[in-house]
Each structure stands twice: as C-alpha cells, then as structure tokens.
Amino acid sequence: MGGDTVLVASSGGVMRLTLNRPEKLNAFTLAMHAELRAAFEAAAANPLCRVIVLTGAGRAFCAGQDLAETRPGMEGGLADAGSRLEQAYNPLVKLITSLEKPIVCAVNGIAAGAGANVAIACDIVVAARSASFLQAFARIGLVPDASGTWTLPRLVGPARARALAMLAEPLPAETAEAWGLIWKTVDDDKLEAEVSVLASKLASAPTYALGLTKRAIALSSTNTLSQQLDLERELQRKAGGSPDAAEGIRAFLEKRAPKFTGRSA
C-alpha cells in the first residue's frame, strides 16, 4: 500500500507513514493528501495496526501546502483556498484526531504551515533537536489552518499562539517542548531509535483503552466537568469490560507483565 508520495511500512503492530517529496520538503499535494488519508483509513480498519508513526523523508518534516499547486491567478489571490481545506486538510485533521489509536509524529526537520499543524494534531510529538515549527501563513498573507488556530492556543496559550501566528518565526524544537507544544525533543541521531522504542511500547499497550482515552481528552475541550465525569463513567465501563482490563489487573496481582491484545472484546 502507499504510493510515491507517502511510504507505508508495517511491522510488529506499527504502521510507519513517511511523507516522501524530500526535494520539496514534503510539501502537501492533492495526491499526497489522498495517499495519506488512505493510509490512515487502512490503519484505522486494520486490527493488527496498534500505533501509527508519521514522519518525513529527507531534511524536513513537511513544508505545508505545495504552493506551486495553488499558484494565484493573474488577478492575484487564490481562487478558493477554503475549498482546499474542505477537500484535503479538514478531513485529514478530523481523521487523525478521531482515529482511536495512538499516532506518534516524528518531526525530523522543519514543520511549516499546515505541516506544523498536522504534526501537532497528532497524539505524541517527538522532534529532532534541529527541527522547528513555523506558522508560515502570515508570510504569505494567509491565516493558520489545519487546526492551528484551535490547537495552538490550547497547547501554548493565546499569547504565544498569537505571536507565533503573527510573527511567523520558527520555534526551535526545544522551546516547543518547554512550552508544551510537543512531548519531547531528542538528539537528531537518536530520533529514529527513540521513536521506535516508543512505538513498540504503544504497540503492546491496551489499544482499546488508549483509543477511549484519546476520545475523552478530545471531548474535554467542549464538555463541562460534570459532562466529562459522566463520559469517564461510560468509557470506564467499556474499558473495564475489555479483555485487556481483565489481563492488566490479573497480571498486576500475579506480579507479572501484562500481555495486552488491544481488542475491545
């Protein structure tokens, strides 16, 4: 599976997706969107897939929309930049955030424009120390998209979100970590190994419970405390009835490591 612009490799419960247009810093084209969406949908549907790793080929993670594909007309301005969001970015972000399996983003180099915002829409973001996050939109007269205006203020607060978006200066990975934009920064030459350890750990985790956890955290942004407590009760009911909860508790009492299947029943 996969095509030229997204490489797909599956092994040991981990599906690794690599954005693959390194000569254009993995900028998004419609073809890449179609391949990426198909790969995420396949990961969602495949019970053997328990974690997805998204990364980029070459020196960048992703430079956002391929601007050669959305060249302005002679009168200036893009014909309808909104339709590109409707067609491509919005479905991608909805897929990533609603897919009930952990998605790790390994940010191997610069993440710019929609590339930065797709990265921070993932569940666990690990970046190479030399990587940076650039809300490039203001440089070209656009507003942050691909959920940036939603995710950024929630992760770093509105003051930092506004400055990042308005100044369009690259944020180094270490600062991104210090600000809570991402999970962790690692040395460039350790990125692959660290992400692979993390992915293996998640591939033997109780996937069903992790998926419900992701749902609960997503819904917390609109729920009241009381609604969230009700949601936790419902989700705990589901998780508690799963074979992994039975195994987890049994293993604890027997003082051994649990063997989770990831299944709901």
Provide the 10 A C-beta neighbour count for residue 23: 8
Q: Rule CB under 6 A: is residue 137 a binding residue for ligand LHQ? A: yes
Kindly state whether residue 136 participates in binding ligand LHQ, applying the rule CB under 6 A: yes
Tell whether residue 70 is a contact of ligand LHQ (CB under 6 A): yes
CB of 166 to ligand LHQ, least distance (A): 15
Minimum CB separation of residue 59 from ligand LHQ in Å reads 7
Q: Is 155 exposed, middle or buried (0-12, 13-18, 19+ CB in 10 A)?
A: middle
CA distance 229 to 239: 15
Does 231 contact ligand LHQ by CB under 6 A? no
Separation CA 12–CA 50 (nearest Å)? 9
Quickly count: other Cβ atoms within 10 Å of residue 92's Cβ.
21
Q: Does 110 bind ligand LHQ (CB under 6 A)?
A: yes
Please, which residues have CB within 8 angstroms of residue 31's CB and are 6 or more apart in sequence?
3, 4, 5
Provide the CA 65 distance to its chain's centre, in angstroms. 17
The region of 37-45, 79-87, 159-167, 186-194 touching ligand LHQ under the rule CB under 6 A is 79-87
- Sheet with strand 124-128: strands edge to edge: 6-11, 14-19, 51-56, 103-107, 124-128, 184-186
**To the nearest whole angstrom, how small is the minimum distance from the Cβ of residue 123 to ligand LHQ?**
21
Examine residue 168 and tell whether it contacts ligand LHQ (CB under 6 A).
Answer: no
Q: Three-state SS for 105?
A: strand
CB of 82 to ligand LHQ, least distance (A): 8
Q: Which CB, 104 or 112, lies closer to ligand LHQ? A: 112
Type and span of the H or E element at 128:
strand 124-128
Question: Whose Cβ is closer to ligand LHQ: residue 132's or residue 207's?
Answer: 132
Q: Which is nearer to ligand LHQ, 150 or 223 (CB)?
A: 150
Q: For ligand LHQ, which residue of 138, 140, 235, 251 counts as binding (CB under 6 A)? A: 140
CA-nearest of 91, 221, 90, 81 to 143 is 81
Q: Is 114 in the site for ligand LHQ (CB under 6 A)?
A: yes
Q: Could you tell me how many residues of this chain bind ligand LHQ (CB under 6 A)?
A: 25
How far is 197 from 162, CA to CA, in rounded Å? 35
**What track of x and - describes contact with ligand LHQ for positions 29 through 68 (by CB under 6 A)?**
----------------------------------xxxxxx
- Interacting residue ranges for ligand LHQ, rule: CB under 6 A: 24-25, 27, 63-68, 70, 78, 81, 84-85, 110, 112-114, 134, 136-137, 139-140, 142, 145
